[in-house]
Amino acid sequence: MPSVKKRARTYDPVKIRAAVLAQLGNVRDGVHALNDDQLALPAGLGKWTVRELAAHLAMTVESVSRNLGRPEPAARELALLDWPFATAAWAGDIDADSRELAERNPDLDALYACTEQRITEHLATAPDGRLLVTRTGSMTLAEHLVTRIVELVVHTDDLNRAVPGLDIPYDRQALAACTRLLADTLAVKAPGASTEVRIPPYAVVQCVEGPRHTRGTPPNVVETDPLTWIRLATGRTDWKAALDDAKVSASGERADLGDLLPLMG
């Protein structure tokens, strides 16, 4: 895991809580509209079906309620910008748990209704600084909710790409938070100030070792849209393909991010 020296940006906890609930509602509506044939489609993530992906999404949100039901740990172990680098070690367990949840819950509507009710009730009273034991390490509720937004947004995109015409919408605050966290993750992985990465309208970060830019137009600039950035950062598309499809513009000798991506899987 890279050593996190960059200070994590501040996220408004009220907006983050609202964004989690809004995007969960968007996903719930989208999953409700799926028929059995659509649920049986490949999700494009290993051997998962769309049904298993939908169950996984419910599981990631349910983790908030589940972890709030556990005793509070004595100390915080994980900073927010540590989290993207800590998830890969748990991929096998996450896969198995998601498959099991899908098998145990053939009625996805009921699963989502229960998940939504529980997290809504918990968020009405739980303080932002409450520590939670999570798979990747103990962290505050406020930080854990930001990670849930990343999961919700990334997998909303996965659902939309897996099911033609599904088009689940993105809550603006959720899309912004996901974009910003993954942009900051790049700055942690490749610290420096020679390259400016722009993801309008949500994020601009400087990264990559080299001569520091101080004024005027930076000599090394990368620019892309939020969904393309999210796909690059999570390995849904690769750097060369995004360049070839004109989804990314990159200028300057230090603007090639191909060796730095993906940031998380």
**% of the chain with per-residue pLDDT over 90:** 92
**Predicted confidence (pLDDT) per residue in 34-53, tens digit:** 999 999 999 999 999 999 99
Residue 218's pLDDT is 75
pLDDT at residue number 219: 85
Q: Which long-range contacts (CB under 8 A, 24 or more apart) does 104-107 make?
A: 105/55, 105/58
CA-to-CA separations, 115 to 55, 59, 110, 173, in angstroms, rounded: 11, 8, 9, 21
Domain range annotation of the chain: 13-174, 190-251
pTM tops 0.85:
yes
DSSP 108-120: HHHHHHHHHHHHH
pLDDT band of residue 32 (cuts 50, 70, 90) is very high
Band the pLDDT of 3: cuts 50, 70, 90: very low
Backbone angles phi, psi at 141, to 5 degrees: -60, -45
What value does the mean pLDDT of the chain take?
A: 94
Architecture per CATH, domain 13-174, reads as Up-down Bundle (1.20)
Token pair 């393909």 is found at 241
Q: Where are the beta strands (DSSP E) in the chain?
A: 131-132, 139-140, 195-199, 203-207, 221-224, 248-251
pLDDT band at 28 (very low <50, low <70, confident <90, very high): very high
Per-residue pLDDT reduced to its tens digit, 157-172: 999 999 999 999 999 9
Domain 190-251 has CATH 3.30.1050.40: yes
Instruction: Give the Cα separation of 46 and 181 in Å (integer).
Output: 25
What pLDDT sits at residue 1?
47
